Amino acid sequence: MTTMISIRSLKKHFFIHDGFLSRNTKTVKAVDGVSLDIDHGEILGLVGESGCGKTTLGRMSINLIEPTSGEVFFDRVNILKLDKQSLNKLRPKMQIIFQDPFSSLNPRFTVERIIGEAMMVHGLADKSNLRSKITEIMQKVGLPNSFMNRYPHEFSGGQRQRIGIARALSLSPRYLVCDEPVSALDVSIQAQIINLLQELQEKENITILFISHDLNVVKHLSHRTAVMYLGQIVETAPTEILNKDAAHPYTRALLAAKPSTNPKKTNNHVSLSGDVPSPLNPPSGCHFHTRCPEAMDRCKTEKPTTLELAKEHTVKCHLYN
């Protein structure tokens, strides 16, 4: 398999001013040196708690947020170095589905316009065949044709998310960022959308970066999983291996914290103490050492490097040195 997306030491730092006239600035290192590869036709799950930088990373991977430093290659093209024109030409190939289907659709546009607008802008359809193309895409995501002239407020959350997916698919993308696409939906609807994404991915062989905080969903859907903590990727592994033999203490804690739906199987409550530290002032050394049950002295001072445990299984932890 060949690499579709290749991210190299990507960083995004946000600067926060202390006060209106103050010269003090603080830095939030939202994403701090992330390198990641996604293969053609692969679903990579990206998990982590809120504020760990997973959304920022996802958006940078399609150049929606400009990184502070680093490189992003889309099919061997560095998309951060492209001029505006060539970037716009590439845009249809990379699309995003947003978390909140209630705020990501323009309430004053009809479904037809929401789905069709991008195709018109990119010249993928003209007035004569726009309607038939929209019909085709709506069928693909399971929306009846009669919805075409209706407005977003008339739909339920699941239907709106389908509209969002239709909009992303209208440009036949090859890389799709799904930013928590099901976390705002009810369980029964969630399953419908997961099935839809899985079907579409199999049929069209789209490469997907699936961002979520729900480990069950990521486990079900993704081929490989990356775990993020405070702006850094602490572990990546094929999903099956990650769930069986998680190496990083943080991954293990995440897996243990997720409540099992089997009442007989009580969780081995090794829940983490404390909160995620503020990204304004992350701990020294390994960012996780303040909450880590296995922290050693060197974790407080020395930053761990990324180690390869097995094929495709990398971890950032001093335990494995």
The reply on whether position 266 binds other proteins by CB under 8 A is yes
Q: Is 194 in the site for other proteins (CB under 8 A)?
A: yes
Over the window 34 to 63, marking each residue x when it contacts other proteins by CB under 8 A and - when it does not, the resulting string is: ---------------xx-------------
Nearer to other proteins, 135 or 198 (CB): 198
> Shortest gap between Cβ of 2 and other proteins (angstroms)?
24
d(CA 261, CA 269): 15
DSSP summary character for residue 12: E
CA distance 106 to 110: 8
For residue 189, state whether it binds other proteins (rule: CB under 8 A).
yes
* φ and ψ of 290, to 5 deg: -70, -25
- Tokens 């002295």 — which residue? 297
Task: Choose between 10 and 272: whose C-beta lies nearer to other proteins.
Answer: 272
| DSSP secondary structure of 79-123 | TTS--HHHHHHHGGGEEEE-S-TTTSS-TTS-HHHHHHHHHHHTT
Region of 96-104, 107-115, 145-153, 189-197 interacting with other proteins (CB under 8 A): 189-197
For the CB of residue 227, give the shortest distance to other proteins in the complex, in Å: 12
Q: How far apart are CA 280 and CA 20, in angstroms?
A: 18
CB of 106 to other proteins, least distance (A): 22
Shortest CB 3 distance to other proteins, Å? 24
- Cα Rg of the chain, angstroms: 21
Burial 55-93 (b: 16+ CB within 10 A, else e): bbbbbbbbbebebbebebbbbeeebbeeeeeeeeebbbb
Q: Which is nearer to other proteins, 134 or 182 (CB)?
A: 182
Q: Does 81 bind other proteins (CB under 8 A)?
A: no
Q: What is the largest CA-CA distance in the chain?
A: 69
Q: Which residue among 2, 24, 85, 261 contacts other proteins (CB under 8 A)?
A: 261
What residues pair up with 83 in beta bridges, in sequence order?
Answer: none
* Under 8 Å between Cβ of 62 and 98: no
Stretch that binds other proteins, among 72-80, 83-91, 114-122, 261-269 (CB under 8 A): 261-269
Give Cα separations from 19 to 123, 186, 215, 266, 282 (angstroms): 46, 42, 39, 49, 21
Site for other proteins contains 69 (CB under 8 A):
no
- Give helix 157-169 / helix 111-121 axis angle, nearest 10°: 20
Closest to other proteins by CB, 137 vs 221, is 221
Site for other proteins in 83-112 (CB under 8 A): none
213 in contact with other proteins (CB under 8 A): yes
Asked if 257 touches other proteins (CB under 8 A), the answer is yes
198 counts as binding other proteins under rule CB under 8 A: yes
Contacts of 121 (CB under 8 A, 6+ apart): none
Q: Does residue 258 bind other proteins (CB under 8 A)?
A: yes
DSSP-based three-state secondary structure for 181: coil
Residue numbers 150-169 binding other proteins by CB under 8 A: 156, 158-159
Examine residue 309 and tell whether it contacts other proteins (CB under 8 A). Answer: no
Q: Which residues contribute to the site for other proteins (CB under 8 A)? A: 49-50, 156, 158-159, 186-192, 194-195, 198, 213, 215-217, 219-221, 253-254, 256-264, 266-267, 269, 271-276
